[in-house]
Amino acid sequence: MLLATGALVLSACTPAQAPGAEIVEGTSITVAWNQPFYSANGNTSFGNATANNNINYMTYSGFNYYDNTPELQRDESFGTYELVSEDPLQVQYTINEDVQWSDEVPVDAADMMLNWAALSGAFNTADFDPAEFQDPETGEFTTEFPEGTVFFDSGATPDSGVGLVREAPEVNEDGRGILMTYSDFYVDWELAFQAGLPAHVIAQRALGIEDAMEAKQAVLDAIANEDTEVIGQLAAEWNTGFNFTEMPSDTSVLTANGPYQITDFVADQYITLQANENYVGDHQPQVETITVRFITDAMAAVTALQNGDVDVIQPQATPDVRAALEGTDGITVNYGEGATYEHVDLQFDQSKNPGVFSTLEARQSFLMTIPRQEIVDRLIKPLNPEATVRNSAVFVPGANGYDESVEESGILDMYAEVDIEQATALREQAGLAEGTEVCLLFASTNPRRVSEFELIRESAAQAGWSVTDCSSPEWGGLLGAPGVYDASLFGWQSTSLGVASVGPNFETGGINNLSFYSNPEMDAVVQELNVTVDEERQLELLKEIDRILVEDAFGITIFQFPEVTAFSDRVSGIDSSPLAPTVFWNVWDWTPTETNVSEG
């Protein structure tokens, strides 16, 4: 899953591709990833996962992106955006005239207006609870909402991001731009918006319109007229229409405006992308075909690289992975500290065992049993001898504010060490019997998480908790699904340096708030953070978030991921970024070597 956090460790920068670079015909690169793709819409709570957004990054273009410095870069070959006014906050977005989708339909204001409707939640039916329409087996929302209901599954909140753009943007006369006016200032306005999915495809599928331009106009008309019946149909298609786990029968959902386009997809095996011949931007790729193979086992990924079956891997690092990679001829290996941190979250509501974590004492008791130091010592230090337990949900270790936040939040007072005696007492205070079950969701295909589960299970049992294995290969789609689990073990990966981007994890209804957590004090802090420019005050507010999370026993952080990137001599130009999409950030710079060409 994805999360944007604050300052990160810098890394070397790969030079930008020279203008005029051309595709080398017949070249192909194969990348291994540890989770299959399942959604081309990474803006839904269901599809917001690294495995999806790696692919989406290659198939969709936008107004900006992060390089591996990391520094925000504008892509003015796609379009431009301009801060028109700070009070009120107004931003003008304009897409270049020649930018088009892979089916040669223009990318324009209709795409942006539908994305505004989705990300703002401006038309969402008030007080509608979609939980009963979520498939407990997959976590995916259905399209069978009550008649007249509008629900975009974007996690939109009225006090952050595009949720602050409560009135419909103004569409430029030429149909290629929109002017967005915020009701309040938003500190991360530059990160809040992109062009979105192909509006014509969504309208064609949802409304049965054949002509692409008529479909675009139908989107614009529905929004202008506030036609909730039509918007509800568009929302249902936006939510689920771009979810697929193999090559879809209707390939219109593969429509792309980025350097690459999906051309083949075999369930649980691989997804293939080819250079998009209708892409007109500056990020022209040099490799003709990229295939992402789904290899869930890290050691299997290493073997595939050594055998020449894949060319690039970025598996979860383990001592076995490091040992296997050392001294392998024809392979470059880079180590570092990644942008992802491991953590355990607890369900405040909608848990599998109802009410198990409804009390503060129960949550504190369970968190006290998490053997964080043992996990780091046994699983992480063999890779990074300097590894430490991470003690903040918002600050990366070593970043400005981290030490102060750890000292002030109270996390060391409560969870510096496992305390079985106190955990047992708190469980009893919560009125929970010995052997109370906690269903823990995690990736069943991830060996390191299996090891973490065993360590957690053994420790928690000493305090009277019975931690059961609720792991699944489809764990990502199940996060946030009601009635499926009681606690979850996974990693958040940073996507930006935006200061306000921590809010969606913890504010009521936020897209990354998968725990049904709600605290008015937290919401107030997040709302202030969203509009605060002063850096000292930002630090104070971020520290407040850490403090509130500890006081509420929201969950517990464990460690920062060690990262390993390895690639063969068939490709050059690979230099991973500390932010998502990590190794894919400069896919257009990947250059086939002579070895690649001769074998292609």
The 3-state secondary structure of 183-224 reads CCCCCCHHHCCCCCCCHHHHHHHHHCCCCHHHHHHHHHHHHH
Alpha helices in 225-266 (DSSP H): 228-240
Buried b (16+ CB within 10 A) or exposed e, 102-112: bbebbbbbbbb
What percentage of the chain has pLDDT greater than the value 90? 83
Tokens 């390895």 correspond to 566
Between 4 and 591, whose confidence is greater?
591
pLDDT at 598 exceeding the cut of 70: no
pLDDT at 145 exceeding the cut of 90: no
CA gap 153, 385 in Å, rounded: 42
Residue type, 53: N
> What is the model's pLDDT at position 597?
53
* Sheet containing strand 79-86, strands side by side: 79-86, 89-95, 177-181, 170-171
Q: What is the pLDDT of residues 202-221, one digit of tens each?
A: 999 999 999 999 999 999 99
> What is the model's pLDDT at position 558?
98
Model confidence band, residue 336 (pLDDT cutoffs 50, 70, 90):
confident
> What is the model's pLDDT at position 144?
78
pLDDT at 148 exceeding the cut of 90: no
Neighbours of 130 (CB within 10 A): 17
Q: What is the pLDDT of residues 424-463, one digit of tens each?
A: 999 999 999 999 999 999 999 998 999 999 999 999 999 9
Residue 382 CB burial class (10 angstroms; 0-12, 13-18, ≥19): middle
Neighbours of 7 (CB within 10 A): 16
24: β partners: 287
Q: Which of 442, 441, 445, 424 has the alpha carbon at shortest distance from 433?
A: 424
Q: Is the dihedral of CA 399, 404, 407, 411 positive or negative?
A: negative
Q: Which of 394, 368, 413, 367 has the alpha carbon at shortest distance from 522?
A: 394
* pLDDT (average), residues 39-43: 97
| Least trusted range by pLDDT, from 1-15, 19-33, 181-195 | 1-15
> What is the model's pLDDT at position 196?
96
Q: What is the pLDDT of residues 468-516, one digit of tens each?
A: 999 999 899 899 999 999 999 999 988 898 999 899 999 998 989 999 9
pLDDT at 7 exceeding the cut of 70: no
Beta strands in 49-110 (DSSP E): 64-66, 72-74, 79-86, 89-95
**Ordered DSSP codes for 312-362:** EE-PBP-HHHHHHHTT-TTEEEEEEEEEEEEEEEE-SSS-SSTTTT-SHHH
pLDDT at 138 exceeding the cut of 60: yes
Q: What is the pLDDT of residues 543-576, one digit of tens each?
A: 999 999 999 999 999 999 999 999 999 999 999 9
Buried b (16+ CB within 10 A) or exposed e, 225-254: eeebebbbbbbbbbbbbbbbbeebeeebbb
pLDDT at 8 exceeding the cut of 90: no
pLDDT at 97 exceeding the cut of 50: yes
* pLDDT (average), residues 43-57: 95
> What is the model's pLDDT at position 536?
96
The answer to whether the CB of 2 falls within 8 A of the CB of 493 is: yes
3-class SS at 459? helix
Between 300 and 4, whose confidence is greater?
300
| Least trusted range by pLDDT, from 131-145, 299-313, 399-413, 476-490 | 131-145
Structure tokens at 9: 């460790």
The mean of the pLDDT values for the chain is 93
What percentage of the chain has pLDDT greater than the value 70? 96
Model confidence band, residue 52 (pLDDT cutoffs 50, 70, 90):
very high
pLDDT at 365 exceeding the cut of 50: yes
> What is the model's pLDDT at position 210?
97
Model confidence band, residue 595 (pLDDT cutoffs 50, 70, 90):
low
> What is the model's pLDDT at position 12?
25
Model confidence band, residue 21 (pLDDT cutoffs 50, 70, 90):
low
pLDDT at 15 exceeding the cut of 80: no
- Cα angle value 413/402/537 (rounded, 5°): 110
* Domains, in order of start, for the chain: 339-560 (3.10.105.10)
149: β partners: none
Structure tokens at 407: 């000292």
